[in-house]
Amino acid sequence: MAIPRNSGFQIVRRLVRAAFLGAATLGGASAAVGVISFGGASGGDCQAAEKNGAAEKNGAAGKGREVRYLDADPATGTSAAVVVAPTAALAHTGLILPVDATDTVVAAGDAAAQAERVLGNLERALAAAGSSSQRMVRLNVYAADYPSLQAARKQVAKAFSGEARPAATWIVTAQPRQDVLVTMDGVAVAPLPKPHRTDTQQIATFKADGLPSPHSLSHVSVMPPGEIYYISGQLEKGQSLAEGVRNTMAGLHRTLEHFGLDPNQHVVQVKAFINPMEEADEALKAIADSYQGESAPPVVLTEWQASIPGPTEIEMIAAKPMATKPRATDAAAPQADEAARFLTPPWMTASPVYSRAAVVRSAAHRGWVFVSGITGDPSVPAEQQAEQVFAVLKQLCERTGCDFNHLIKATYYACDPSVSPALREVRPHYYNAERPPAASLIHVRGVGAEEGIYTLDMIGVSVGPAEKR
C-alpha cells in the first residue's frame, strides 16, 4: 500500500538519515542540527533566538515565550517536539469521547465527524480550566482502526492550522464504548489556579458544561508548578477487572503516601491500561470509587492487548504545588542535579531501564519537553528499529537542551512480540541505570504507521546545553 509522506517510519527514516547529513527534518520541515526550529518550517524565529543567546539565557522556551514548537509541520498540524516554560501551569484532560450533552455517541460509523466532535469536546474541557486547544502542547489520538486514524489525522491538521501544533502520538486501540471510533486526550498551557498558596492545596479539577461526566470524574485538571511526580504503571491482580483496578489504585495510593502526597488532593491524571475494554465503565467506576466521594481526577483509558483478560496497569501524574507563585527568574540558572530525581519505594525492586517514579522540580529546569511518538522503519528488524528511535530521541534531546539524564516519562506502545526483547537489548545503551525515566510498556493493536511495530513518546526537561555523550 502507499505510504503517506508524513507516516511515522518515513519521518524516522528522514531524521535518521539527517543525523548523518547534518540536518534534521520532520514532516517536511527542516532545520540544521543544533538549531531549535519552533513555530514553522523555516525555523527563523529560533535562529534569531540562538543568535541572541536567548535559548541559554532565558530557558529553553525562550524569553517571553511560554511555548515553542520544534519542526512544526503545517501539513499535519503537529510538531516533532514542544518546549514549555518550566513555570507554566498545564491542563491535563481525561479521555474525550465523541458524545453530545446527553452522553449519546454521535456520527456512528463516521470517523471524521467523530474526530471533529472530539476536538470540539476537547475545546470545551480545556475552556473549563481557562485554556483552549490553541494552547495545546501534547495530543494523544486513539482510533479503532487505521481508516479511522487517517480520518482523525485530517481533522487534527485542520484544527491546528494556527500557531499551536502539539506533539502528537497516534494509537490504534479498542474504544471504551460501542460505536466510538476516535477518542483523544491532551495537555495545554492554562492559567495558574487561584489561590496558589500552600503545599496542601488540592489540585484544581473542572467539569465542562455540556459534557457528560460518568461517575463524576473530572474532565480536566490543572497541574501547577511545584514538585511533579510521574508514577510508573503499577499492576495488582484481582478476580475481576474491577477488583484489579481497585487493588492497583490502592497500591498507587500507598506509593503516593510514601512520597508525602495526598491521593485525594494531589493527583493530576490517572491513565489505565485495561483488558477487556468492554468493561471500561466498570474500570472507571472502580477508579472513581477509590476517591471516596472526593472530586476524582480526569482518567484516560487505553486497551492493553493481553493474552488473558483481567490485567490492569495504571500510572499517575501527581503534584505538590509550590508554596508561592514562582517567579520567572527562578528557572534562570537551574542546578541540573536538582531538576529531577528518580525514586524507588522500599518495597519495590529498582530497574536499570525504568524508574518507579520520576520527580521534577519546576524551579530547577529550563522547560518541559514533550516529544511526539517516534516510530522506526518496519523494513528492518525490531532491534534496529529501536536503535533508530533512540537515535532520533537523542537528536531531539540535543536540540531542546534535554539529555538522557533528564528524560522523565516514557510510554512504549508495542504491537509485536519482538519489541520487548529489542527494548531490553537497546535501552541499557542509552539510559543511565541510576536515572532511567518512569515508564509503561503497553501492547496495543497498532501505532501511527500501519506497518510500524512500536511507538515511543517521551516527556523530558531541559537543563540547558546538552551534555556531550
pLDDT digits (tens, 9 = 90+) for 50-108: 333 333 334 566 555 789 999 999 999 999 999 999 999 999 999 999 999 999 999 99
Q: Indicate the domain borders of the chain.
A: 8-462
Whole-prediction pTM: 0.86
Instruction: Over range 150-178, report the average pLDDT.
Output: 97
Instruction: Over range 370-381, report the average pLDDT.
Output: 96
- Could you report the per-residue pLDDT of 258-317, keeping only the tens digit for each? 999 999 999 999 999 999 999 999 999 999 999 976 679 999 999 998 766 667 899 999
Task: Provide CB contacts within 8 A for 104, sequence distance 6+.
Answer: none
Instruction: Over range 409-426, report the average pLDDT.
Output: 96
**Mean pLDDT for all residues in the chain:** 84
Question: Closest by alpha carbon to 223, among 129, 301, 289, 364?
Answer: 129
What is the pLDDT at residue 192?
83
pLDDT greater than 80 at residue 330: no
pLDDT greater than 80 at residue 47: no
Question: What is the distance between the alpha carbons of residues 237 and 240, in angstroms, rounded to a whole number?
Answer: 8
Sheet containing strand 438-443, strands side by side: 67-70, 81-84, 367-375, 454-462, 407-414, 438-443
What is the pLDDT at residue 292?
78
Task: Provide CB contacts within 8 A for 133, sequence distance 6+.
Answer: 119, 122, 123, 126, 159, 160, 164, 186, 188
